Structure 1
Amino acid sequence: MSALDWYLQINLKARHMRLLVTIDTYRNLTQVADVTHVTVPAVSKSLAELERGLGLTLFSRTSQGLVPTPYGDCLIRHARSMLTILHQARDELKALSSGTEGKVRIGMLPASASVLLPQALSLLKQRSPGTNVVVNEGTTASLLPELWQGHLDLVVGRLPPPDTLGSFEEMELLEEPVTLMTGRHHPLARRRTLAWSDLLPYPWILPPPGSILRDPLERALEAHDVPLTNNYIETLSIHVARAQLQISDFIAVMADTPASDSTQPLHTLPLSLPRLLRPAGVLWNRNRGLTPSAQLMVSCLEEAAQRMLTGHGASPRTVPSKTLPIG
């Protein structure tokens, strides 16, 4: 066994990993000492001992502070992953010792999971009241890195296009057509037939740049000579969009399932869009696997999708999961 093997397998401790991550975060020994409540010499000594034990230089001392070397970058990346796993193990052990059954951390793409996820959560709580859930809303760009790093167990919403790096497991759950929506009072809502040019005078509620829907939507509208004007609101919030449609003459693009709500009815314009997006579904990191609680959540998502009314424009999908390349 080499000295490096021996140190990694026998002597590397969780405190070393926390030290690496903290130094990488602050890049300054004084700040590291402040947040870890030790002295600067103690931090410097711990880092020197770690580098000596590994036989590698992990940080370069520069005028801008401590900068990770390639060895440091490698070890820091794995240290973050290992600390995440330790935190998850701690949470599961605490849950078991307190009588609860676990915790599931879910990232939600709000515009496409606002109906599916609440129904699945209701099923989860019926089956396992002691399984707790943390839900964070966000965009694909913000949630997928969290899923990759292990900070999330699942991401639920519109499945992203398979055109970037990495590997996640996906399961398609629900096919939701994308439609043009207005409030019931909108001038266009009173007309049985429409031309695309009839949309030109009205403002829009749009998904923000970088979201899954924005680029294909712009291309579809441009194909019908309906350029997006400077009069628009950008949001991923289905609640903001619905409320705005109720009180104004805006036009929004929505999946038909969340748009079909009897408490705040909207009008679907009789203009057909092409299939702009993939189905709604669930993603997880296949390299990390799923905890029992996350497996139960996936099962509840499948059942909720099956229960969704096809009359709302959503078609349940029962397809086998497959590996999807995503960064």
Structure 2
Amino acid sequence: MSALDSYLQTNLKARHLRLLVAIDTYRNLTQVADVTNVTVPAISKSLAELERGLGLTLFTRTARALVPTQYGDCLIRHARELLTNLNQTRDELKALSSGTEGKIHIGMLPASASVLLPQALSLLKQRSPGTNVMVTEGTTASLLPELWQGHLDLVVGRLPPPDTLGSFEERELLEEPVTLMVGRHHPLARKKQLNWSDLRPFPWILPPPGSILRDPLERALEAHDVPLTNNYIETLSMHVARVQLQISDFIAVMAGTPGGDAAQPFHTLPLRLPRLLRPAGVLWNRNRGLTPGARRMLSCLEEIAEQLEAGAVSARAVPAVSLATG
């Protein structure tokens, strides 16, 4: 066994991992000392012992900061993963010892904020009241790194393109149609026959550039000779979109149940769009096993998706549509 193998297996401690992460975060020993309540000489000594035990230089000193070497980058990356796993283990053990059934961390993409996730959460709490959930809403760009690092157990929403998945496992759950929506007062809502050219005079509520819907939407509209005007609002906010549709003559692109019932303040334009987005679904890190709570949540998501497809679940008080922005 080499000295490196021996040190990693017998001498590397959690305190070393925390030290590496702290130095990488602040890049300054004085700041690390302030945060950890340990003196600068003690930190320097611990780092020197770690480098000597591994036989590797982990940081280089510059005039302004400590900068990780390639060995430091490698060890810091794994240190963050190991500390995340330790924290998750602690949380599960505490939950078991207190009689609860664990905590799930779920990332929610905007397109899942209609019926699927709220109904699945309701079913989970009916079946397992002791399984607690923390839901964080965000974009694909913000949530997928959190999932990869182990800070999230699941991400629910519009599935991203397959080439962005990398180490993620996915499950398709629900095909939600993408439709053009206006308020019920809108001039187009009163037309008995509608042509694509009728859309040209009106302003739009658009997903921002870089969102997964923007490019395919523009291509679909251009194919029908409906170029987007300079009169638009770009937003990921469902609240902003709903209010604007109710008080003005904007057109928005939404996913989910069409606005056909009397309680729904929207009108679905009878113009068929091609399939612009992938289905709603769930993602998890294939390199990490799902916790019992995450498996229960996955089962609830699958069951609610089947019921929604069959029309067996109603939206109740939950908004029936969502901004198709992912």
Identity %: 84
C-alpha distance 225-213 of structure 1, shift in aligned 2 (>3 A):
same
Q: Which runs of 5+ in 2 are unaligned?
A: 315-326
Are 2:171 and 2:283, in contact at CA under 8 Å, matched by a contact in 1?
yes
After the TM superposition, which of the residue ranges 302-311 and 11-20 deviates more from structure 2? 302-311
- Who is 1:121 aligned against? 121
C-alpha distance 156-21 of structure 1, shift in aligned 2 (>3 A):
same
* SS of the residue 2:21 aligns to: helix
* SS of the residue 1:308 aligns to: helix
- Who is 1:47 aligned against? 47
- Who is 1:13 aligned against? 13
**Once the two structures are superposed, what CA deviation does each residue of 1:17-71 show, in whole Å capped at 9, x if it has no partner?**
1111111111111111111111211211111111111110001111231111000
1: CA distance, partners of 2:99 / 2:82: 26
C-alpha distance 189-155 of structure 1, shift in aligned 2 (>3 A):
same
Are 1:114 and 1:258, in contact at CA under 8 Å, matched by a contact in 2?
no
Is 1:175 paired with 2:175? Answer: yes
2: CA distance, partners of 1:299 / 1:311: 18
- Who is 1:71 aligned against? 71
Shift of 1:137: 0.5
After the TM superposition, which of the residue ranges 244-253 and 220-229 deviates more from structure 2? 220-229
2: CA distance, partners of 1:254 / 1:58: 50
- Who is 2:137 aligned against? 137
Is 1:265 paired with 2:234? Answer: no
Is 1:96 paired with 2:96? Answer: yes
After the TM superposition, which of the residue ranges 243-252 and 262-271 deviates more from structure 2? 262-271
- Who is 1:321 aligned against? none
**Once the two structures are superposed, what CA deviation does each residue of 1:261-311 show, in whole Å capped at 9, x if it has no partner?**
764431011111110011111110111010000000000001111121556
* SS of the residue 2:257 aligns to: helix
Are 1:105 and 1:152, in contact at CA under 8 Å, matched by a contact in 2?
yes
Is 1:238 paired with 2:238? Answer: yes
**Once the two structures are superposed, what CA deviation does each residue of 1:103-129 show, in whole Å capped at 9, x if it has no partner?**
111001122342100000000000000
**What amino acid is aligned across from residue 90 of structure 2 in structure 1?**
R
* SS of the residue 1:246 aligns to: helix
What is the 5 A alignment of 1:116-265? 116-164=116-164, 166-257=166-257, 263-265=263-265
Are 1:113 and 1:280, in contact at CA under 8 Å, matched by a contact in 2?
no
Are 2:111 and 2:280, in contact at CA under 8 Å, matched by a contact in 1?
no
2: CA distance, partners of 1:56 / 1:261: 67
2: CA distance, partners of 1:298 / 1:7: 40
- Who is 1:303 aligned against? 303
Are 1:140 and 1:160, in contact at CA under 8 Å, matched by a contact in 2?
yes
- Who is 1:28 aligned against? 28
Are 2:203 and 2:229, in contact at CA under 8 Å, matched by a contact in 1?
yes
Shift of 1:167: 1.9
2: CA distance, partners of 1:63 / 1:221: 55
Q: Which runs of 5+ in 1 are unaligned?
A: 315-327
**What amino acid is aligned across from residue 31 of structure 2 in structure 1?**
Q
C-alpha distance 262-48 of structure 1, shift in aligned 2 (>3 A):
farther
**Once the two structures are superposed, what CA deviation does each residue of 1:85-141 show, in whole Å capped at 9, x if it has no partner?**
011111111111111101111001122342100000000000000000000111111
Are 2:104 and 2:153, in contact at CA under 8 Å, matched by a contact in 1?
yes
2: CA distance, partners of 1:163 / 1:236: 23
* SS of the residue 2:133 aligns to: strand
**What amino acid is aligned across from residue 193 of structure 1 in structure 2?**
Q
**Once the two structures are superposed, what CA deviation does each residue of 1:149-168 show, in whole Å capped at 9, x if it has no partner?**
10000000111111236221
C-alpha distance 75-112 of structure 1, shift in aligned 2 (>3 A):
same
After the TM superposition, which of the residue ranges 14-23 and 256-265 deviates more from structure 2? 256-265
2: CA distance, partners of 1:112 / 1:59: 43
- Name the count of aligned residue pairs: 313
Are 1:107 and 1:154, in contact at CA under 8 Å, matched by a contact in 2?
yes
Shift of 1:215: 1.6
Are 1:106 and 1:156, in contact at CA under 8 Å, matched by a contact in 2?
yes
After the TM superposition, which of the residue ranges 30-39 and 119-128 deviates more from structure 2? 30-39
C-alpha distance 23-260 of structure 1, shift in aligned 2 (>3 A):
farther
1: CA distance, partners of 2:55 / 2:158: 47
Shift of 1:227: 2.2
Are 1:113 and 1:158, in contact at CA under 8 Å, matched by a contact in 2?
no
After the TM superposition, which of the residue ranges 131-140 and 261-270 deviates more from structure 2? 261-270
C-alpha distance 50-242 of structure 1, shift in aligned 2 (>3 A):
same
